[in-house]
A and B are shown apart, each in its own frame.
Chain A
Amino acid sequence: MALDELYQEIILEHYKKPKNMGLLENADIKVEGKNPFCGDEIELAIKLKDDIIENVTFDGSGCAISQASASLMTEKIKGKSIVEVKKLISTFKKMVKGEDDSQVNRDNLEELLALQGVSEFPSRIKCALLAWNTLLLGLEEKLNKKAGEK
């Protein structure tokens, strides 16, 4: 059944027991995102060490796809540099939108591949992307601020 491709075991796991839930104190980046279409909300708190994402947590409410996507995302980006994460965001977007990408990029997504099924459910793409778009917003705000300070 196609539904099982969407709701893979690993997604259900992350929905049931989301990783990195609850907001960090002393975050360097705090950013909120909303999906106006369905009312899903997310807040991210990111601790940076230089250009590396040292820690990241989230809070919010939403459907299984949006919550699992957020949880998987926090696991994946921890320890990565901002540049790496930005590349990852675009790779992830390509996957859920069902766009072509290089095999290397795809393989690099690892557990995130569990969300590949979303591409077959156009109305759910926004759910999978909420955390990622919010992350991108937070990173860009931070980079702009930095550029402004220089």
Chain B
Amino acid sequence: MESGTKENTSFDADKIREHFPIFFQPENEGLIYFDSAATSQRPREVLTACNNFYEKINANAHRGAYKIAEKATAAFEAAREKTAKFIGAGRTEEIIFVRSTTEAINFVAYGWARKFIGVEDEILVTEMEHHSNLIPWQVAAQKTGARLRFLKMNENGVLPLDQLDSLLSRKTKLVAVTHVSNVLGTVNPVKEIIRAAHNVGAKVVVDGAQSVPHLPVDVVDLDADFFAFSGHKMLAPMGIGVLYGKTALLEEMEPVYYGGEMINDVDYYQSTWNDLPWKFEAGTQNIAGAIGLGAAIDFINSIGIDTIREHDHSLTEYALNELKKIKDLVILGPTENRGPAISFTLGNIHAHDLATYLDQKNIAIRSGHHCAKLVMKKFNVAATARASFYLYNTKSEIDALVHALNEAKGYFSKWR
């Protein structure tokens, strides 16, 4: 099918696809995967790296004075270094390995917020947060007595910054904001939000789950205080995620888990904590996961995050244009400056019915509230369908989606 728009010539998604075994399983023939915002697929390079760890150097990190343990430790720490470079962290020890974005944000909620936030204080969150950057703050506010306030979005799913003046004050201790919305695709001006927050002395935790996979991120340039993301949305395995924090904040923050590896000295009644980052990494870590994350970063770097961003962007533009042509299809969120996730409704067809229909055509999209019920409330819908793209997707797949959506309209029209 002729797409009309020019494909990015420096980038060949079909070639990229060859690295992803999931597309070559006989039982997945014809799979069109449009749910990378939920979790991405993984290239062979990442799977091999994890496997190599278990096959060749499997041992616990930081615990053995023998060759494979030293190799395992070195590989684990090398992954941390790659991760630090990838997001522009000033120091490698500012990278804490956790399970996921959710765990990273909870670390901040338990280890930092509960220690430094009190009854007189305020926490500011936005209306477009994923539940993982909302519920921890609801509960933190309940536990500390702090007031939870909301930065509202406009009808295009954009956060108007002029509200910030009236919302931020010396009482604001923490601002929680997503870098890119998983529902609306909105790319938020986090740098400006951070600057405004810092002006009143507030710290900012950024949910980077949907940004790190798709755009160049530099936490120092953003001046983020805490920054959270998940490996599994950026080609790495499930069960590995990252909490970045500025050294000074991580130092004053309480450990969240206590136990092995996170201690410096232990006595009968009290102990002291290890240095960063290990103070936060109690117990055996997901070493294979971290190594997989390192391999995912190598893979992304071998293509270039800017190239990936351009590809995602051109797919998104193309999809927005094509989807707009479908009568009764309503797209939520901004029309420009957005990440590669597009939520929509189609007439009165429920998103769930639509997803089942598309699945019959081997097109995997997400339906539901996308863990963002406040966004659903705002747009007054119970559920939406969401198509999200990544480096292995192509325009012809989008053509197939558009074709199937038109067919679905026909199929479900007999209902009216």
Contacts and interface: CB of A to CB of B under 8 A. Distances in A.
A16 interface: yes
A61 B369 CA distance: 14
Nearest to B370: A39
B369 A39 contact: yes
Nearest to B357: A3
B296 to A, nearest CB: 28
B353 interface: yes
B368 interface: yes
Q: Which of A39, A62, A127 has the most CB of B within 10 A?
A: A39
Contact of B352 (A2, A12, A124): A124
Contact of A62 (B357, B369, B382, B411): B382
B407 to A, nearest CB: 11
Interface in A13-61: 15-16, 37-41, 61
B181 interface: no
Contacts of A64: 350, 353, 415
Contacts, number: 50
Contacts of B39: none
B356 interface: yes
Interface in B290-316: none
A65 to B, nearest CB: 7
A45 B6 CA distance: 57
A118 to B, nearest CB: 10
A37 B368 contact: yes
B360 interface: yes
A1 to B, nearest CB: 7
Nearest to B360: A3
Q: Which of B356, B367, B414 has the most CB of A within 10 A?
A: B356
A9 B411 CA distance: 12
A121 B382 contact: no
Contacts of B411: 3
Interface of A: 1-3, 6-7, 12, 15-16, 37-41, 61-65, 121, 123-124, 127
Given A15-B415, A16-B416, A39-B369, 10 more contacts: A38-B382, A39-B373, A40-B352, A41-B382, A61-B382, A64-B350, A65-B352, A121-B356, A123-B356, A124-B356
7 contacts: A1-B360, A7-B353, A38-B352, A38-B368, A39-B368, A39-B373, A39-B382
